Amino acid sequence: MAAIIQGIGAATALTSANSLDTKKSLFANSRRSLSERKGRLFVVRSDGRLSCGLNGRGGRAEQLITNAVAAKEDAAAASTSSKPGDALESWSSRHELLLFEALREGLEEEMDRDPTVCVMGEDVGHYGGSYKVTKGLAPKYGDLRVLDTPIAENSFTGMGIGAAMTGLRPVIEGMNMGFLLLAFNQISNNCGMLHYTSGGQFKIPVVIRGPGGVGRQLGAEHSQRLESYFQSIPGIQMVACSTPYNAKGLMKAAIRSDNPVILFEHVLLYNLKERIPDEEYVLNLEEAEMVRPGEHVTILTYSRMRYHVMQAAKTLVNKGYDPEVIDIRSLKPFDLYTIGKSVKKTHRVLIVEECMRTGGIGASLTAAITENFHDYLDAPIVCLSSQDVPTPYAGTLENWTVVQPPQIVTAVEQLCQ
């Protein structure tokens, strides 16, 4: 294991030392190289505003806004009707990508920018990953920066954490999020705690990512939602992507963060298509996204349930309701500024999640809202979650375990009575 980590470090050193020799095409071959982007970096805030800065190779987390709760001076400039979608209109040119391609583009840009970024996991190399997120990276960067591993999640997760301690920035792919339960010890006792238990001597800049959620008849073991498992681990950040735009922006931000980040991807969203900017951009890991402004009720959701909520919103609008929809994106910590601002306006909250009801993200979010904004609520918080049962294989039964749009419509109607 030590030899492999040393080999990765040696490979990155060779990449820099021989950039004018045999390795000089490593960065030049990027489809979206930084030179093509004129060295500019955009940080996109949840209120739709852009921050522009130089894109130096040394710049990492310091270019990001790190506060989970927005500063007071942001309140005047931010509008509840603003969202990253507004920012998209300001870009000079855009290109269309599927969500898994957006993840790959973000990963590739970071590997071009920083030679310490490497990828490891099962079939991530020449096969290109189980959902093709890493397709084409192994021939470009070599087998030491895109490392195929045995089927041993505890081993390669521990190896990635060790590599992060030595100065690399590993991106660890779990072929399925359910498999990462085998690496729970490494993630909880090592990944989340080593920075603290070492007295700050070690940083763990590692990204753990992979597909999860209820697919289409994948069975109980392959339909896990592990957000609730990982949320209680100190020292770990969690984000969930839901569009190609935020998938790329969150991937880049996670890689640049000095904290360990778990990036949740939904298995049914990989083929979602969207036009995203040609210019480089990075999203904030700790900010929610205003999807739809409204007045009557705040609907908080994330990942796949964003689309169930938006489908229900069409019905609700036809019935005379005006729901405000927020994609919380940051599962840990919560963006209580954006959430609180909405609660103070609508006074009603509906949480829609695919996670299990008992001990899920919704339960933690309910507690946080009750603790911080109880006086602004005109009705009890309602939380719609998946059934506390193993996900059935039968398609009809599988649908019954997950929140559906008609349930959301009914819940809003009852809340607004």
Residues carrying an active site annotation: 153, 222
Residue 221 vs residues 216, 296, 392: alpha-carbon distances, Å: 13, 39, 10
Kindly give the pairing relationship between strand 323-327 and strand 289-292. antiparallel
Would you state the torsion angle of the CA atoms of residues 60, 65, 66, 71, taken in this order, to the nearest 10 degrees? Answer: 160
Residue 99 vs residues 123, 264, 310: alpha-carbon distances, Å: 19, 13, 18
> Which residues share a beta bridge with 146?
119
CA atoms within 13 A on the CB side of 415: 28
Q: Which two tokens stand for residue 332?
A: 């840990």
> What is d(CA 100, CA 105) in angstroms, rounded to the nearest whole number?
9
CA atoms within 13 A on the CB side of 356: 15
> Which residues share a beta bridge with 44?
50, 283
Contacts of 20 (CB under 8 A, 6+ apart): none
**385 in Cβ contact with 403 (< 8 Å):** yes
